Amino acid sequence: MGSLDGRVVLITGAGRGIGREEALFFAAEGAKVVVNDPGVEIDGTGGDTGVAAAVVEEIVAGGGQAVANTDSVTDWDGARRMVHTALDAFGDLHVVVNNATVERNRGLADLTEDEFDAVVAVKLKGTFAVTRWAARYWRERFESGVRADRAVINTSSGSGLLNPLPTQASYASANAGVAALTVVAALELARYGVRVNCLSPSMARTRLTLGVPGIAEPPATGGFDPQHPATSAPIAAYLAGASCPLTGQVLSVRGGSVAINHGWTRGASIRKDGPWTVPELVAQLGELPMDDPFDKLAEALGGALGAGGRERIQQMIDALL
Q: Which domains does the chain have, with CATH numbers?
A: 8-260 (3.40.50.720), 278-320 (no CATH)
Helix or strand (DSSP H, E) at 251: strand 250-254
CB 255 within 8 A of CB 231: yes
For each of the chain's 321 residues, which pLDDT tens digit applies? Answer: 799 999 999 999 999 999 999 999 999 999 999 999 998 776 667 778 899 999 999 999 999 999 999 999 999 999 999 999 999 999 999 999 999 999 898 889 999 999 999 999 999 999 999 999 999 999 999 999 999 999 999 999 888 888 777 888 999 999 999 999 999 999 999 999 999 999 988 766 565 655 565 555 666 677 776 677 778 899 999 999 999 999 999 998 888 888 899 988 888 999 999 999 999 999 999 899 887 777 777 776 665 555 565 676 677 667 766
Question: So which residues are the catalytic ones?
Answer: 171
- Full-model pTM: 0.88
How far is 297 from 295, CA to CA, in rounded Å? Answer: 5
How far is 253 from 251, CA to CA, in rounded Å? Answer: 6
Task: List, in sequence order, the alpha helices (H) in the chain.
Answer: 17-28, 50-61, 76-90, 113-120, 126-143, 158-161, 169-189, 233-240, 278-284, 293-300, 310-320
Residue length, the chain? 321
CB 282 within 8 A of CB 264: no
